[in-house]
Structure 1
Amino acid sequence: MPMGTDVRHAVVIGAGLAGLAAARVLADSFEAVTVIERDALPSTSVPRAGVPQGRHVHGLLAMGAEVFEGYFPGLRAELEQAGAPVWDWGEGLCAVLPHGTPPPTPMGMPIQTFSRPLLEHVLRQRVTALESVTLRDGLTVTGLRTAGPGKVSGVLVRDSDGEDAIVADLVVDASGRSSRLPQWLAAFGLPTPRTLTVDAQVGYASRTYACPDGQSRPPWMGVLQPLRAPDFHKGCYAIQIENNTLHVTLHGAGGTQLPHDDDDFLAFAHGLRGPIADTITSLTPTSPVRRYARTVNRKIAYDRMDRWPDGLIALGDAVCAFNPAYGQGMTVAALEARLLEQMLRSRRSRMPLDGRDFQKRLARLTAWSWLMATIPDRAWEQARPAWPVKAGNWFMNRLIDTVPHDPKVYTSFSGLFHMTAGPLALADPRTLARVLIGPRPGGSRRIATA
């Protein structure tokens, strides 16, 4: 049933990054956009309860930064003014890989590092400054409002004053991993969508350190030591962010015990190769050790449902959530917003958005990122992985093992990692030959220690 041609109001559930990006796009096509957030939102860039992963290292990939800059011109400069450094990925990253660390390799790939709360705060200010956008926090969505079979006409909400309904022509579920959309769809008489999960049992422990002006700073801007089944159970990701701060996240897979306190944190770091232990030993902690373990990859197959209500779409972690270790979440949210924009622009004047088609296109958009996250994670999950998983892992491991010894492979892999290049980039005969031949002797096997 068509939603109607008098399109005026859109409601976005969730004021996280996916919700803010969606609201920015919707503001160009709808007369009014209301963003509903369960949390009482802070007025400064501090962590909030609804984003428990916000206290851990976040990375915005190069493609995500490009998309966000397009929607929020001057964003990079604004973040830089707030202290977020900009640096070249190939020159500033110390990548501690199983078979060595690649030497600094200029790539012309600018990266900006910051805390998740800072990015969310700046985007929230930008979005709420839009004349057509209203943000209502401290408000919980309890269900979908209906207007006949198969049509969503708004949301039901509750706050300290009681319950109410908000009428909308389009409802966007961007409520993240806590989404209750499957239960709400059941109220329409729709079957429960299939949910696929891949769990490597990865956990994080994070804290921040002060890097005061005048004190010797690390020679790198970031340290990345990835996990790999079955031998490398421990790793880390550390970045220099705003306020002269070093943000360090230690992670472990396969149920590895994570540190709880100062001594445990240092002991875990000293068990890693690379420079992180020596670096943090000389710095002053500015936060307690905080842990997080909600890292399962989860995909809900809304695209496979035979029926889908008019006036509804879902995106972000509410549909496809990744193990944060791969740093894809924020960039995928930006790409999903771009997909929404493209579909809104391609409609005939004031025609409703085809929600079912959107879910199908979103599934295709996230397919490669899902593979990039779940192929290595399945190696932790399965004692005897299926042959496609084994083949995929073999190729990815061979690629990563070649990176320290071949700048061209390193550059190609970085483009793939940052989504500025697609998987076809690896099909280049020269790159493919380098990977299949494997690491060449005499390349760099440097492991930075300072």
Structure 2
Amino acid sequence: MDGYARRAVVIGAGMAGLAAARVLADGFESVTVVERDRLPDSAVIRAGAPQGHHVHGLLARGAEVFEGYFPGLRAELERAGAPVWDWGEGLCAVLPNGTPPPVSMGMPIQTFSRPLLEHVLRRRVAALAGVTLRDGLAVTGLCAAGPGKVTGVRVRGADGEERIGADLVVDASGRSSHLPRWLAALGLAEPRVTTVDAQVGYASRIYTYGEGWQTPPPWMGLLQPLRAPGFQRGCYAIRIENDLLHVTLHGAGGIQLPRGDEDFLAYAKTLRGPAADTIAPLTPVTPVRRYARTLNRKLACHRLARWPDGLIAMGDSVCAFNPAYGQGMTVAALEARLLERMLRGRRARAPFDGRAFQKGLARLTASPWLMATVPDRAWEGPRSAWPVAAGNWFMNRLIDTVPHDPRVYTTFSGLFHMTAGPLALTDPRLLLSVMSGTRRPAKPHA
């Protein structure tokens, strides 16, 4: 270990922060994870993660990366009751042009609540040598030796204020990050911010199905996506640990989301799929929870002319997606892998190149950003630029072909789960199927 890699501080104990801490533990003498919330000792929702009330998905690519960093993670989650199933066989996808029949894809998916995954990962990270989790501390700013060098963080807790020194500070504090303000306090420019807001809202609750179903449904996950302009209502439901069904109802374009028992079921009855019939006999175990912070937000940190040594930012602090697409946790895992590669490639005793990391992160997030924002921009209507309109035209044709072509369904699933790249769309046979396939979209249900 060289003299540089001594102390690291990670701001935030969410998915991105825990993944970063796992990577840093291999190369730093000490890693301190600073979290504003009081961290629970069990799998319960913490105050700083209000989206924890809603359905979360770990894409196949993300599951692979996390399993590599935490061997036996999938088995541990399975022992806690989180089911494992094949995406093609276990998903009921209610698409505008039909529902694809089950097809084996060899793509194992595991479904669970976010609190369970976060609890297991937090326990694993806390057990790593040299890692310390400190909760109840709010980061109030960066410590610096001039504008070009970050040397730690200032924090405030119940015992007052203190400074925590570090050779590398990782901002993984999520959507609530104060990174632009911190950079401005160092005399540096603030990064340009790009937002795309489809004004999508969620309403979620959890049901127990252990005794409510005489015969459980043939699916493990139910997906009915939104699509501009006509499909303003949708849902995502998954079977999770403890014989529970987690249901999230989606709405866009000003749709009023349910607030209580009766209107939750009434909303589900407006959907074309089996959501209403599934939940009608079940017993809810949580109240209805609503959430509306779903805009896509990206900071162009990679375009700043000056970036301080000793600082990097990752996760939702830099690039946050509409959670409807389920990309956040997987992208956080891939960003941690980028950090690992750059730490291993760094010359001995050389400072970590934070600016190069931000450029690499921008390249890594470019594709998932397009996957989320192209359909979301479609809600802007006629104002959409022609590249957005063209992208949506192609994606809609692709999705409309999915119910009728297992090969297209498998390819699209690989794109969705990030196990395949955009080049998969250039296959001539796939293009022929997409451009000539059946095109009879269903009308949105009133």
The answer, yes or no, to whether TM exceeds 0.5 is yes
Q: 1-side partners of 2:396 and 2:147: how far apart?
A: 50
* Residue in structure 1 matched with residue 218 of structure 2 by the alignment: 219
1:130 aligns to 2:110 (yes or no): no
Q: 2-side partners of 1:57 and 1:28: how far apart?
A: 32
Q: Which amino acid aligns with 2:356?
A: D
* Residue in structure 2 matched with residue 403 of structure 1 by the alignment: 402
Are the counterparts in 2 of residues 7 and 351 from structure 1 also a CA contact under 8 Å?
A: no
1:101 aligns to 2:104 (yes or no): no
* Residue in structure 2 matched with residue 340 of structure 1 by the alignment: 339
- Counterparts of 1:150-229 in structure 2, within 5 Å, are 150-212=148-210, 215-229=214-228
* Residue in structure 2 matched with residue 414 of structure 1 by the alignment: 413
Are the counterparts in 2 of residues 5 and 352 from structure 1 also a CA contact under 8 Å?
A: no
1:378 aligns to 2:377 (yes or no): yes
Task: Please state whether the residue corresponding to 1:439 is helix, strand or coil.
Answer: coil
Q: 1-side partners of 2:411 and 2:162: how far apart?
A: 52
Are the counterparts in 2 of residues 405 and 440 from structure 1 also a CA contact under 8 Å?
A: no
- Counterparts of 1:267-278 in structure 2, within 5 Å, are 267-278=266-277
Are the counterparts in 2 of residues 14 and 173 from structure 1 also a CA contact under 8 Å?
A: yes
Question: Which sits farther off after the overlay, 374-383 or 167-176?
Answer: 374-383
Q: 1-side partners of 2:42 and 2:360: how far apart?
A: 36
4+ residue segments displaced more than 3 Å: none
CA deviation vs aligned residue, 1:283-312 (integer Å, no higher than 9, x gap): 000100000000000001101100000000
Q: 1-side partners of 2:85 and 2:347: how far apart?
A: 43
Which residue among 136, 145, 148 is the counterpart of 1:147?
145
Q: 1-side partners of 2:265 and 2:126: how far apart?
A: 41
Cα shift at 1:211? 1.2
Q: Which amino acid aligns with 2:434?
A: V
CA deviation vs aligned residue, 1:222-266 (integer Å, no higher than 9, x gap): 000000000000000000000000000000012211000011101
Q: Which amino acid aligns with 1:439?
A: T
- The CA RMSD measured in Å over matched residues stands at 1.3
Cα shift at 1:384? 2.3
Q: 2-side partners of 1:149 and 1:186: how far apart?
A: 9
- Counterparts of 1:42-441 in structure 2, within 5 Å, are 42-212=40-210, 215-439=214-438
Q: 2-side partners of 1:440 and 1:287: how far apart?
A: 40
Cα shift at 1:383? 3.4
Are the counterparts in 1 of residues 140 and 156 from structure 2 also a CA contact under 8 Å?
A: yes
Q: Which amino acid aligns with 1:199?
A: D
Q: Which amino acid aligns with 2:294?
A: T
Task: Please state whether the residue corresponding to 2:383 is helix, strand or coil.
Answer: coil
* Residue in structure 1 matched with residue 33 of structure 2 by the alignment: 35
Are the counterparts in 2 of residues 57 and 239 from structure 1 also a CA contact under 8 Å?
A: yes
Are the counterparts in 2 of residues 198 and 381 from structure 1 also a CA contact under 8 Å?
A: no
- Counterparts of 1:2-21 in structure 2, within 5 Å, are 5-21=3-19
Cα shift at 1:436? 1.2
Are the counterparts in 2 of residues 199 and 296 from structure 1 also a CA contact under 8 Å?
A: yes
Q: 2-side partners of 1:186 and 1:411: how far apart?
A: 46
Q: 2-side partners of 1:104 and 1:174: how far apart?
A: 38
Q: 2-side partners of 1:39 and 1:133: how far apart?
A: 18
Relative to 1, partners in 2 of residues 1:305 and 1:234: Cα closer, same or farther, differing over 3 Å? Answer: same
Task: Please state whether the residue corresponding to 1:264 is helix, strand or coil.
Answer: helix
Between the aligned residues of both structures, percent identity stands at 77
Cα shift at 1:148? 2.8
Q: 2-side partners of 1:222 and 1:195: how far apart?
A: 35
Q: 2-side partners of 1:175 and 1:27: how far apart?
A: 19
Q: 2-side partners of 1:276 and 1:49: how far apart?
A: 29
Q: Which amino acid aligns with 2:46?
A: R
Are the counterparts in 2 of residues 47 and 117 from structure 1 also a CA contact under 8 Å?
A: yes
Task: Please state whether the residue corresponding to 1:240 is helix, strand or coil.
Answer: strand
Q: 1-side partners of 2:50 and 2:73: how far apart?
A: 24
Q: 2-side partners of 1:57 and 1:235: how far apart?
A: 13
Q: Which amino acid aligns with 2:282?
A: L
Task: Please state whether the residue corresponding to 1:383 is helix, strand or coil.
Answer: helix
Q: 2-side partners of 1:339 and 1:150: how far apart?
A: 23
**Structure 2, unaligned stretches of length 5 or more?**
none
Question: Which sits farther off after the overlay, 57-66 or 379-388?
Answer: 379-388
Task: Please state whether the residue corresponding to 1:60 is helix, strand or coil.
Answer: coil
Q: 2-side partners of 1:416 and 1:271: how far apart?
A: 29
Task: Please state whether the residue corresponding to 1:231 is helix, strand or coil.
Answer: coil
Q: 2-side partners of 1:279 and 1:242: how far apart?
A: 18
